[in-house]
Structure 1
C-alpha cells in the first residue's frame, strides 16, 4: 500500500488522522484481499471515517460507500472528498436506508456495482442489508463472501434471517466497550449542548428535567455514569432484561419499568437500538417529552410508522431539534432529529478508541474476503484470538505497550 491518501476534509481534522490511518493499515497488512473484490461499506459520513475508508480502498478493487443517513444529512459536502479517494464510489441517492429495506433494491445495488461472477463483501453498520440478505445470498451464492456487522441493533435485525453464508459480528466484543463509553459521553455532552442552544435548558436543571434511560448495556450505563458526573442523581433506568438492572441500585439509580419512567421523566435517552418506545407510549403521552437516542428514531421509535398512522404529526424544527405532536397535543422533541445526539457535530480523530472497533470490523472483512477462515453459515463473533491481537496492536501503537 502506498502513502497517497485523503484523510481529511478540513485542515483542523488532520491532527490524529494520519495516526489512525497507519494503525488500521498495520492491521490490514496481516491479510490480503483477493483481486477484483468489491466491498459494499455502510459507514458514517464523518471525517473520522476517512482513515478507515482509505485503508479499505487500498485493499479492495472497488469500495462502494453507502453513507449512514443521519450523518450524510449533516455532512453532504464531505461526499466530494470521499468521491476523490481512488477506488471509491459513493452510492447513488436511490440506494439509501429506506430503499434497501426492499430486497429487490438490494439486488439492484449489487447488480449495478459488480460485474458477472465478481466477488463482493458487505461491511454493514446497523443492518442496512438485513431485509435483503436472503435474496442476496440466494442470487449471489458464489459471489458473496459474507457480511461483517458492526452494531448490536444491526445484529438484532439479522437474527431471524435464514443465513446460508457467514455473518461475523463485532458488536459485543470487549474491545468495543471503550468506544461505547466514549460515545455515551459524547451523546450526553451534545444533548446538553442542544438543550442549551434550543431551549435554554441544562441537563442538571433540577425541577425542569427528570431523566430516564431505556437500556442498560454499555451505552446506557455509560450515559448514567456521565450524567452522575454532571451531578445528576435522580435517574430512572429500565431494561427488558431484569438481570441487567441488578447492579444499578447500588449506584444510586432508580430501576423501573418503561411505563413508570414515562410517569416521572420528561427527558429519555433511548439506548436499545431496537424499539425502546412503542406507539402506545407515544400515543398516551399528555405532557411534553424530550427524546435522545444512541442510534436513530427509526430504530428506537419506528418513527415512519408513527407518522404514517397519525400517532405523531410533524410540527417543525432544525438540525438540532425536530418537533412532533401526538393526538393529545403533547410535543415530542427529538434531539438531533431523533438520530444519535452527537451526529450534528464534528467527530474528531483524536479518540483512539474509535479505531478499536474499526479494526475489528476491518479484520472480520479481511477474514471473509481472503476466505482464510473457518466461519460457518450464520451469525458468529470475531474470535477471542483476533480480539487479543487487535488489543495488543492498539496498545503498542498508541500507548507504547510492551
Structure 2
C-alpha cells in the first residue's frame, strides 16, 4: 500500500502522522466488507487529510463530499485529496443544495454503487437530511446507516422518518475540547478579518460592541476567547434562559436577542439555527459585522433573506461579503457567512479534532459490524465507546497511564 498523503503544504507536521496512526489503530479492530462504499461529508481542511486517508483505506471507494464553506477556498488541497487512492472527490459547488433534491440524491448515490454494494453515510451538517427518508426506502438492502457529526446537522434529521439507524456524536463530551478549539480559531480569525478588511481590532470598544448569540459550547468558548483579548463589555443571549445564569457573575451582560442585535454591531452567531430574524435585520440602525460558527444558511437562513429582499448582496471577496438591508445599512458576513476560520489553515497542531473524528468513524464502524444492534432512527454513540476513545487518545498523544 502506498504511503498516505498526510500533508499538503506544510514542511513538517508531527500531528498529521500521529493522528493518522491513532485513527488507523482504532479502525483496524473491525473487519469490513470488500465492496464497501463510504459517503463522507467534511470540510476541505489540511487537518482532515489523516482522517480522509484512513477512511479511504477502510472502503473500496470513499466518496468525499467537501462542505460548501471550504470547497472553493482550497482548490489546491482538493487536487491533493484526489491523489489519495480510492478517494473520489465531489468538487461540485452547492453540494448541500444539490443533495436536498431527492431525485438528484438518489442518482448521485447510484452512480457510485452497484446493486450489491453496501454503503455508509458519514454526514456533517445534515447534507443528506432532506432525502434521508427516500434513501432508506430506495436503498433498503444496501444502506447500512448514517452518522451525524454536528448538533445543527442533527437538528435537520429530527422529525424525519428514518428506517435505518442514525448515530449522532454531536453531543458527546469528548467533542467539547474541539468546540473550544474552534471557538478560539473563530475569534482569532474574526480579529484578523477585521484588521485586513476594515483596519479595526476586535477589542476596539470605541467602535465595536460585541454580542454572542447562543450559549452552548461554541458560544461559551467564543466568550472565553473574547475576554482573553481584553474585551469586557460582552452581551450574550440564548433561547434557554437557564444557560444565561452562569454569565452575570463573570461580568457578562445577558439580554434578549432583540436587545442584543439593537445594541451590538459585532455579532458572533453560535446557534446553528437562525440566530437573527428578518425583523431584526429590517430594524438595524447601524452597520453590522457578523461571524458565524456554522454557516449563513443555518445561522441566518440567508437564501430566504435574499429571496425576500431583506438583504441584497453588494460586494464579495475571499474574506467578506457585504449586503445591504432594505434601509440601506451594510451587513458584513465574515468568510462569506461561513465559519470565520474557513478561509485559513486550521486544525493542524492540535489533536482535539481526532477525538470527534474517531467518534464519527467508530459510529460508522459499529454500524458496519452489526447494524442490528441499533434501532431505526436517531441514537447516540454509547458512553463506554466515548470513554474508550478518550482513554486511547490520552494514551496516544499524552502518554496517559
TM category (shorter chain) comes to: over 0.9
The answer to whether the 8 Å contact 1:95/1:105 transfers is: no
- 1:294 match: 293
The correspondence of residues 167-182 of structure 1 with structure 2, limited to 5 A, is: 167-182=166-181
- Alpha carbons of 1:136 and 1:95: their partners in 2 closer, same or farther (altered >3 Å)? farther
Deviation at 1:207? Answer: 1.5
Deviation at 1:94? Answer: 7.0
Partner SS state of residue 250, structure 1: helix
The answer to whether the 8 Å contact 1:168/1:381 transfers is: yes
The answer to whether the 8 Å contact 1:145/1:371 transfers is: no
TM-score, normalised with respect to structure 1: 0.97
Q: Please give the root-mean-square deviation of Cα atoms over the aligned residues, in Å.
A: 1.2
Deviation at 1:284? Answer: 2.1
The correspondence of residues 189-268 of structure 1 with structure 2, limited to 5 A, is: 189-268=188-267
The answer to whether the 8 Å contact 1:297/1:303 transfers is: yes
How far apart, CA to CA, are the structure 2 residues paired with 1:89 and 1:276? 35
- 2:373 match: 374
- 1:346 match: 345
- Alpha carbons of 1:161 and 1:348: their partners in 2 closer, same or farther (altered >3 Å)? closer
- 2:6 match: 7
- Alpha carbons of 1:174 and 1:113: their partners in 2 closer, same or farther (altered >3 Å)? same
Deviation at 1:220? Answer: 0.1
- 2:399 match: 400
Task: Extract unaligned runs of 5+ from structure 1.
Answer: none
- 1:278 match: 277
Deviation at 1:32? Answer: 2.1
- Alpha carbons of 1:146 and 1:262: their partners in 2 closer, same or farther (altered >3 Å)? same
1:374-400 per-residue CA deviation (whole Å, 9 max, x = no partner) reads 211111111100000000000000000
- 1:142 match: 141
> Which is worse superposed, 288-297 or 72-81?
72-81
1:204-247 per-residue CA deviation (whole Å, 9 max, x = no partner) reads 11110000000000000000011111111111111111111111
Partner SS state of residue 291, structure 2: strand
Instruction: Kindly indicate whether residue 33 of structure 2 is the aligned counterpart of residue 34 of structure 1.
Output: yes
1:19-46 per-residue CA deviation (whole Å, 9 max, x = no partner) reads 1100110111221222211000001111
How far apart, CA to CA, are the structure 2 residues paired with 1:128 and 1:12? 34
Aligned residues: 401
> Which is worse superposed, 356-365 or 341-350?
341-350
Deviation at 1:16? Answer: 2.1
- 1:104 match: 103
- 1:187 match: 186
The answer to whether the 8 Å contact 2:66/2:91 transfers is: no
Deviation at 1:361? Answer: 0.4
How far apart, CA to CA, are the structure 2 residues paired with 1:280 and 1:165? 39
Moved beyond 4 Å, runs of 4+? none
- Alpha carbons of 1:94 and 1:303: their partners in 2 closer, same or farther (altered >3 Å)? closer
How far apart, CA to CA, are the structure 2 residues paired with 1:155 and 1:324? 29
